[in-house]
């Protein structure tokens, strides 16, 4: 293994020169990438736009998911509502039939009280109209 001292020429100067050129080219590329990364970090507006775009995409996904869930809920409600309404009507009709007697008595008492009130008011008005 031959070592070269400063000022001495190496055995393959062309190979060594090419290696230096390659290393310089790699260093330039690396430096260019580093400068681009630093510039991207310094561009606050660009970062804000990128974050806004990410949040907008997340929001659109969330809205689409919520819309789908709402449509599914509406579809399920449409399927079950007629049966539930029918059940509620049937239950109300059964309760009304059970309470038919007391309900009829209450309605009769209300009509009697109303008739008595009307009769009393008419008599009161007719006694005011007749002079004594």
Domain that holds residue 49: 18-99
Residue 78 within a domain:
yes
Residue 111 within a domain:
no
Q: How confident is the model at residue 112 (pLDDT cuts 50, 70, 90)?
A: very high
Average the pLDDT over 64-68 and give the result. 87
Residue 53 within a domain:
yes
Residue 77 has pLDDT above 60, yes or no: yes
Residue 1: predicted pLDDT:
43
Residue 10 within a domain:
no
**94 versus 3: which is more confidently predicted?**
94
Average the pLDDT over 68-72 and give the result. 85
- Average pLDDT value over all residues in the chain: 81
Residue 48 within a domain:
yes
Q: How far apart are alpha carbons 30 and 37 in whole angstroms?
A: 11
**24 versus 91: which is more confidently predicted?**
24
Residue 46 within a domain:
yes
Residue 107 within a domain:
no
Q: How far apart are alpha carbons 98 and 111 in whole angstroms?
A: 22
Domain count, the chain: 1
Residue 119 within a domain:
no
Average the pLDDT over 33-60 and give the result. 85
Reading the block at residue 122, the tokens are 């008419």
Using the structure block, give the residue that is written with the tokens 């009304």.
Answer: 96
């Amino acid at each position: 293994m031959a070592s070269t001292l400063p000022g001495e020429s190496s055995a393959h100067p062309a190979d060594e020169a090419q290696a230096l050129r390659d290393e310089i080219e790699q260093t330039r590329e690396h430096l260019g990438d580093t400068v681009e990364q630093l510039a991207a970090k310094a561009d606050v507006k660009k970062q804000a736009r990128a974050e806004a775009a990410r949040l907008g995409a997340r929001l659109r996904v969330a809205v689409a998911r919520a819309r789908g869930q709402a449509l599914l809920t509406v579809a399920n409600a449409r399927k079950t509502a007629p049966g539930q309404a029918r059940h509620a009507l049937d239950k109300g009709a059964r309760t009304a039939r059970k309470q038919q007697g007391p309900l009829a008595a209450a309605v009769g008492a209300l009509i009697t009280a109303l008739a008595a009130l009307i009769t009393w008011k008419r008599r009161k008005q007719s006694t005011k109209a007749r002079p004594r």
